[in-house]
């Protein structure tokens, strides 16, 4: 992982996702981007997916987990608390609680907290079997 970047790499070698609940309190924060912390709830294969990586992040005002980037996984990002800007394919959108981002594989995207309070969002990114 690059210094100052919070990027979670999906795993194809972790154990298969078990049925059940993963409690937030059992997780440790990851990443070293200033003002950004991420908690990974699950990272590994599922019954139907080669990779599934899901978790939450909290961004301080003005923070971003990483510069706009792309990866081979599709991704959803759901804003829970706070406001910011999400850029997908070069198009910025102002977002708040309840906003959902989708981006396909290899589409440039990024998120920045532009508000005055912390921004919390949840993400899930995945690769279908046969596309890894």
pTM above 0.75, yes or no: yes
What's residue 1's pLDDT? Answer: 42
Task: Tell whether 10 is covered by a domain.
Answer: no
CB-CB neighbours of 37 under 10 Å = 19
Q: Is the dihedral of CA 104, 59, 2, 52 positive or negative?
A: negative
Task: Tell whether 24 is covered by a domain.
Answer: no
Task: Tell whether 82 is covered by a domain.
Answer: yes
Task: Tell whether 18 is covered by a domain.
Answer: no
Task: Tell whether 2 is covered by a domain.
Answer: no
For every one of its 132 residues, what pLDDT tens digit does the chain have, with 9 covering 90 and above? 445 556 677 777 788 888 899 988 999 999 889 999 999 999 999 999 999 999 999 999 999 999 999 999 999 999 999 999 999 999 999 999 999 999 999 999 999 999 999 999 999 999 998 887
- The CATH number linked to 49 is 2.60.120.10
Domain range holding 45? 31-126
For residue 25, the SS3 value is helix
What's residue 3's pLDDT? Answer: 53
Task: Tell whether 15 is covered by a domain.
Answer: no
Q: Structural domain tally of the chain?
A: 1
Task: Tell whether 78 is covered by a domain.
Answer: yes
Can you read off the two tokens belonging to residue 79? 């804003």
Task: Tell whether 11 is covered by a domain.
Answer: no
């Amino acid at each position: 992982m690059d210094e100052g970047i919070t990027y979670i790499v999906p795993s194809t070698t972790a154990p298969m996702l078990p049925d059940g609940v993963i409690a937030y309190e059992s997780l440790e924060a990851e990443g070293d981007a200033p003002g950004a912390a991420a908690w990974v709830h699950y990272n590994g294969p599922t019954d139907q997916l080669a990779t599934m990586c899901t978790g939450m992040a909290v961004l301080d005002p003005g923070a971003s987990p990483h510069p706009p980037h792309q990866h081979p996984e599709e991704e959803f990002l759901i804003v829970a608390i706070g406001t910011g800007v999400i850029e997908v394919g070069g198009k910025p959108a102002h977002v708040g609680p309840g906003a959902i981002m989708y981006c396909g594989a290899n589409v440039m995207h990024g998120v920045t907290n532009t508000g005055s309070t912390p921004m919390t969002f949840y993400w899930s990114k995945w690769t279908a079997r046969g596309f890894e």
